[in-house]
Amino acid sequence: MPKMKTHSGAAKRFRVTRNGKIMRGKAYKSHILEKKSPKRKRNFRQEGTISPADMKVVKRKLGL
């Protein structure tokens, strides 16, 4: 049976840490930034972790 291919769209969006957590970029950071506070915009730069409900699907797409 051939190897599973990594989903290239998922590979661009998610990153796996050494401990096995899956990190994602935050939403709402690309436009309409004037009304958002500087603190809120700074927090968009940090990565977030995916929810446990999405873990199974994302791991399968990343080939883990």
Over pLDDT 90: what percentage of the chain? 92
Predicted confidence (pLDDT) per residue in 21-47, tens digit: 999 999 999 999 999 999 999 999 999
pLDDT of residue 64: 87
- Third-level CATH fold of 8-62: Factor Xa Inhibitor (4.10.410)
CA pair distance 40, 38, nearest whole angstrom: 5
Alpha helices in 4-51 (DSSP H): 8-13, 38-45
Indicate the domain borders of the chain: 8-62
Look up residue 34 and give its DSSP letter.
T
